Chains A and B, each alone.
Chain A
Amino acid sequence: MQAEKTKRGMSRRSFIAAMAVAGGAALAGNVACSPQAETPAQSTTAQAPEEQIYQGLCRGNCGGGCYMNVHVREGKIVKTSVKDAPENPLEKRLCQRGLTHAQRVYAPERLKYPMRRVEGTERGAGEWEQISWEEAIKYVGDKWKSYVDEFGGSSIGVPLGGGVYTNDQFYTTRFQSVLGMTKLSGQYDQNGLVMGTLTVTRGPMLHGNGPLDLLNAKNILVWGCNATVSEQPRWPIIQAAMEKGANVIVIDPIYQGVAQRANEWIPIRAASDGAMALAMMNVIVSEGLTDPEYLKKGTVAPFLVKESDGKYLRMSDLGVEPTEGPPDRTGKPTVIDPIVARSADGTNDDKDKIADPVLEGSFEVNGIAVKTAYQKLLDRIAEYTPEGVAEMCDVPAEKIKELARTFADGPSVLYLQFGTDHWTNGAETFHSIITLGMITGNMSKSGAGIQGGMGGSAIGSYGVNLAGGMSGEGFKYGITASWENLPDIIKNKANGAVPINLKSILIEYNNPLSNAPGRAEIMDSLKEIELIVCMDSVMTESAQYSDVILPTTHWFEMNTFTAMQVPWYRVNEKAVEPAFEAKCDIEVIKMIADHMGYGDKMMTEDEWYELLLTNDVAKGLGVTWESLKKDKMVRIMPDDYIFYPDYKYPSATGRAEFYFETLQPNDNYGQQLDHATWSLPHWQPPVEAWYENEIFKKYPLNLMSHRDRFKTHTIFALCPWLEELRPEPILYMNPQDAAARGIENEDYARAWNDRGSVVMKVHLSSGNRPGVVTTQHTWYKQSYKEGHYSDLTSRAMGKFIAAGCFYDTLCEVEKV
């Protein structure tokens, strides 16, 4: 040991000299990428150098929408720090990821200049030639122009992810509308979000109240959401609610951080959640714990439904001629034919004229057999008893009853994220869980409703004129299809009945090759695409696989604003000049539009933000782009906002709907829908990861992914500091499953199924339900020892809603 040879009082330099002799070359180590022999020492008398502080926005769409201080010295970003919340300390937001931005701006994987894949090399081979911006714009613009001329604007597809929600993003959406490009929506979280809209509609805070109303809840059901990680920005509010006495119950197959913090954890078989919600409703109905007042006034419950076709009984069925209503947006006259409800004395009339409608019963009206919508729901709920679903859910019937009673004794919040979403039965699950909220009246009042990623999060379009921004004279708009269906769209040259001949794809603001399910099949289908263009600030996995790379600015090298996630207009200030040759996305799109001859449709950056802030909300608050740049933050909604407290929901019926008269999926890609089944909450097993499915015998382990606390989707994927904390992907496994396969902690193991295979390190965790293996969904291919987690996932979507179903995946695991 060197130290034993040293003597007290030996100087540091002489000791180093001694070590150099003893240790030799080993001490020199590798030459650093950015070595600094010694950072300048600061004496206590040193003067603070000039430091500018700007407001920056983190935009990983983790749900945080964090605003922060961006510190600049000598033209370089040196750190980020938490910014005081203007009104309530519970709105302070910043995290371990947001604290690393200074690295991300100057990251090793930062894209420096426009590049084109070297002709004759394979996509993804990493052979690039640097080209000028002029050449890059001409190359992409000429190709796109030829595709548009020959195959129409729909021949260019633009995947939309949940990547980066600031309003520069929608400038590209405007350009898509100009040309009629195909929007290839990555259908992340859509089972939940679309079902939320179909049932209770949307408000400024998505499907629920303002975030701080959580403090008024008596019970909070955290359902399929590891809130300490995936809802970290809102965790202070949950914690404050608990300190105020809220009873937090976690329903999750996996025991994670939030379960440790909660009052109770209810372990459940994955993907059976909807069945348990239906059984809870069964208990609530049979024990008389419903809220008839809310059902009558707020929901479609009293509406009479015709047995023949499932349509509502309307006044025209009673011989009352429909009247003409005000014209719709296209100028066509509308028809008013009110839905019929029934009073206790047998009067059937316009729902708005029946003061106290009956909720239950089957009737004959004018010779037409009808039932109330609520009666139809009761008939459906009767199929699901606690005893009937207990084994399937692996939750004792008594526990289901107890949970139902607790929830009904509100106000109770449904704290929903997307753990129950990423399944082929996710739509059914959300339909049932949200209906549970409706029948107990836990909607549209304080301390209740939907929170989490589904509520309590500003929608972003409220107070932002996106409709105006994305429309204009001569615009072609184009259709929205699902990224997950890309192989079918390419093969069939159509999405459902709509012809599309895809020639090019523009990847911007997202990284679908790492993030979307069914990666293996999608990668294969991309061979048919002639030109893949990627705009990003870093070399993402999607950038690696493209033909042309256009380097864009880091978030703190440009001006933009948002009103999403936190109910404030927030400006993001340009803190430094773009590094290298990077240009802001708006500038790049404008250059391409100019080259293609559409320059007159695409305005300047300042004009764009002015247009978005031309709306009634901004006008009421006196906000303009100029004033926002000065004020930086302006509140647009109170934090304790209540979701439609007057029950005037903006749905077709004007009510919250647990019953669907028509079925309106987000993407008509050819799915066959049975109205009788889908018009009401119900439960079906998921198509793959279910213990009764045949394939379960071959692949008995359910592979689910989760958010990593060190990444937001794939943003921060290669962040050096965060990689020091979690250097590689981990497969979490119950010790029992590992022992059965001879796998020990820290072993490398292969997970595989018929679609793909991946090798990663195993950590044993008893929090994993036996039969369930989990991993982070947030790594690039190069981080895996072999393969890619996402190659195991399938493109299967729900039977109703187009939604990515990452969790509905089975596999087997072996030691390597």
Chain B
Amino acid sequence: MRYVMAINTTKCIGCHSCSVACKSNNNLPNTKWYNRVETDGAEGMDTVRGTYPNDLYMSFMPIACQHCDNPACKSVCPVEAISQREDGIITQDNEVCIGCQLCLQACPYNARVFNESQLEYVVDFPLGDWDAPAHTPLTAEKCTFCTHRIDRGDMPACMEFCPASARVWGDIDDPNSEVSKYVAGKSTYKHLESEGTQPSTIYVK
């Protein structure tokens, strides 16, 4: 059993539906995002590189915690707040986390966010899933693979509706799972594999 996310960058249109679904359902505090969508073009969001009208290029790459098998965050955590579940998901215990932010520096994917002492929200009651995990001041957080949802049989929030059908998730150990069948025969890669993190997210290119 090994949960993974597969993301097809040849399909992603950069809409950020996955990011906002994540933000909403996890009731993320202001300025905190688990899942960002990077433009692979020029420097800003929705920009294009090349020389008009030739060799122009822009694509999009959603990036969140890659749920690595050798997570850089875990190896630097001084208090063992980070662990890996049997299904591969990297979890974090915010009761243990001391907010030292070493994991933020260690993660090559910039996937972690730090909660300051005062967390702010747009409204004064919790939004999103009723069982969204609490957000604790002075801790580091990241994508939980929506364990609160998948453990009760639901899908991760980012999977709810991708208009480009660019996301597939499931058990990569099961050859008959949707994700195994989706990536079979496709040209794939893993992001920043050279970092030795053994990321689980599969990018289809």
A: residues with CB less than 8 A from B are: 2-3, 6-12, 15-16, 19, 27-42, 44, 46, 48-49, 51, 73-74, 76, 78-82, 92, 94-96, 99-100, 102-103, 106-108, 228-229, 232-233, 235-236, 239, 255-257, 259-261, 265, 267, 709-710, 720-722, 724-726, 730, 732, 734, 736, 745-746, 763-770
Contacts and interface: CB of A to CB of B under 8 A. Distances in A.
Contact of A34 (B44, B46, B120, B138): B120
Interface string B54-85: 00111100000000000000000011100000
B161 A228 contact: no
Contacts of B96: 12
B196 interface: no
B97 A765 contact: no
A14 B97 CA distance: 12
A239 B99 contact: no
Overall SS of chain B's interface: loop
Pick the most buried of A37, A42, A236, A267: most chain B CB atoms within 10 A of its CB.
A42
Given A34-B122, A39-B126, A766-B52, 4 more contacts: A10-B79, A235-B13, A256-B46, A746-B44
Nearest to B125: A76
B101 interface: yes
Given A232-B13, A239-B11, A767-B58, A16 B122 contact: no
A99 B100 contact: no
Contacts of A73: 130
A3 B100 contact: yes
Contacts of A78: 125-128, 130
Contacts of A709: 14-16, 46
Contacts of A31: 118
A12 B13 contact: no
A8 B138 CA distance: 17
Nearest to B43: A745
Interface in B126-168: 126-139, 148, 151, 160-161, 163-165
B21 interface: yes
B99 A19 contact: yes
A701 B48 CA distance: 19
A34 B121 contact: yes
B7 to A, nearest CB: 15
B20 interface: yes
B20 A721 contact: yes
8 contacts: A3-B101, A6-B98, A11-B98, A103-B122, A256-B48, A763-B46, A765-B48, A767-B47
Contact of A79 (B16, B45, B128, B134): B128
A48 B131 contact: yes
B79 to A, nearest CB: 6
A29 B118 contact: yes
Counting chain A CB atoms within 10 Å of each CB, the highest count among B24, B49, B99, B118 belongs to B24
B123 A102 contact: yes
B200 interface: no
A81 B163 CA distance: 13
B24 A100 contact: yes
Contacts of B139: 12
A99 B24 contact: yes
A235 B129 CA distance: 28
B201 interface: no
A724 B29 CA distance: 11
A748 B97 CA distance: 41
B170 interface: no
A32 B126 contact: no
Contact of A28 (B42, B117, B148): B117
A73 B130 CA distance: 9
B42 A10 contact: no
B42 A766 contact: yes
Contacts of A239: 11, 164-165
Interface string B21-46: 10111010011010000000111111
A32 B121 contact: yes
B175 interface: no
A531 B52 CA distance: 50
Query: Which A-B residue pairs are the 9 nearest by beta carbons?
Result: A767-B48, A3-B100, A32-B120, A763-B44, A765-B47, A82-B161, A228-B13, A41-B134, A15-B98
B187 interface: no
Contacts of B87: none
Given A3-B102, A16-B99, A232-B13, A42 B130 contact: yes
Nearest to A108: B122
A74 B123 CA distance: 14
A29 B16 CA distance: 29
B37 to A, nearest CB: 9
Nearest to A266: B53
A144 to B, nearest CB: 36
Contacts of B14: 228, 257, 709
Contacts of B136: 38
B44 A267 contact: no
A31 B119 CA distance: 9
B134 A764 contact: no
